[in-house]
Structure 1
Amino acid sequence: MTGDDSMSGRYPPDALKADGLRAGAGLALTLGPFLIAQPHPLIAAPLLAGAALFGVFALRTAQRRFQRIAVDATGIRQHGPLGRAIRWDQVETVALRYYSTRRDRQGGWMQLTVRGAGRRIAVESPLDGFDRVAAAVAAAVRGRGLPVSEATRDNFVSLGHAVDPPRPSPFRR
């Protein structure tokens, strides 16, 4: 990105609503038995562990409601609760992972993780503008010559963003 070019994205309300419903249903199923009876400790322990997981998921979903991801010529920023920023010259590692929801690899989502300066910013593909964020991160990887895993390289290519630096031509003009 050059000059004042910048973009930001948010998670769409429909995706957040679905995650909120999942978190609520999970909490109801894991905490509901405690409203009806006092479960045996062998049953209570897994129910409370499940409730803790669904609680973390609910908090993460609530955080995303107020979160905005921005990229510009200087770096990537996460605005909102627990906001943070990483300048492009501070990026140390980048990973782009694909998580499939079916065996035939149809459906699923991607998660882009950028680490640097002791901070981590993770962005998932439901984000409005995910492709533009991925393009900016790919440009930073190319520009800095950062090594990435083969899976990350393949996932960037699947989005249309090469991360390998251009190779010089063996022919001089």
Structure 2
Amino acid sequence: MTAHRYGMAELGGDYARGAAGLALTALPLILLPMHWIVAVVFAAATLVFLAFLVRTWLRHRSVIEADGQGVVAHGPLGTRIAWRDLTSFKLRYFSVRRDRQKGWMQLDLRGGGRRLRIESTISGFDEIVSLAHDAALAKTLTIDDSSQANLLSLGMITPQAGLAERWGVRPATDGPEE
């Protein structure tokens, strides 16, 4: 069983953004007199930044373990999904730029009435995805085109004829082109 964590290097920026947002919304709410409508807007923004900080803290406190039997998230909201219970496998890419050059992936697993989301900022993300993908194949789960494209970009699958054209990838050939 391998243990994976979200490192402080990856989460430090989220902590800083959450703290800055909380300070910029909560402090004026506490220190300045405001019209009630403006106060409601600031209170809503404060709650959003507080929820973001709590989510970041939960990821920081979580340890994900994966092996041939399943995946376990230890921490405040821990859960376990056995590969034999896996019912859904989705691998999504979220871009922060229009050119789709920067971003992160998120693995969404479901099984046994539970759901587990793992972001690519965790150590050993590729290993977890590989184990989950193997389990999804063993259970003959349908893997959507988006997830297949993301698996292809990670180098975990090779392009298949038909799908390769849709993704803009040329399938490999055995011999020279004529």
Q: Indicate the TM-score class for this superposition, using the shorter chain for normalisation.
A: 0.7 to 0.9
Please report the RMSD computed on the Cα atoms of aligned residues, expressed in angstroms.
1.5
Given candidates 35, 43, 51, the residue that maps to 1:40 is: 35
- Residue 145 of structure 1 aligns to a residue whose secondary structure is coil
**What corresponds to 2:46 in structure 1?**
51
Given candidates 134, 144, 147, the residue that maps to 2:129 is: 134
Q: Report the TM-score, using the length of structure 2 for normalisation.
A: 0.85
Query: Partner letter of residue 77 of structure 1?
Result: V
Structure 1, unmatched stretches of 5+, are 1-5, 165-173
Indicate if the aligned counterparts of 2:11 and 2:60 stay in contact, CA closer than 8 A. yes
Query: Partner letter of residue 26 of structure 2?
Result: L
Deviation at 1:64, TM superposition (A): 1.6
Structure 2, unmatched stretches of 5+, are 160-178
Q: Report the TM-score, using the length of structure 1 for normalisation.
A: 0.87
Given candidates 106, 112, 135, the residue that maps to 2:107 is: 112
**What corresponds to 1:82 in structure 2?**
77
Once the two structures are superposed, residues 7-53 of structure 1 have per-residue CA deviations (whole angstroms, 9 ceiling, x without a partner) of 12100111122111111011111112123212212211121111111
**What corresponds to 2:144 in structure 1?**
149
Once the two structures are superposed, residues 118-171 of structure 1 have per-residue CA deviations (whole angstroms, 9 ceiling, x without a partner) of 11110000100001001111111111110121101111111112399xxxxxxx
Moved over 6 A (4+): none
Given candidates 43, 51, 55, the residue that maps to 1:60 is: 55
Given candidates 123, 138, 153, the residue that maps to 2:118 is: 123
Percent of residue pairs identical: 38
Measure, in 2, the Cα distance between the counterparts of 1:45 and 1:127: 36
Query: Partner letter of residue 44 of structure 2?
Result: A
Greater relative contact order, per chain length (Cα 8 Å cut-off, separation 6+):
1
Query: Partner letter of residue 150 of structure 1?
Result: D
**What corresponds to 2:163 in structure 1?**
none
Q: How many residues align?
A: 159
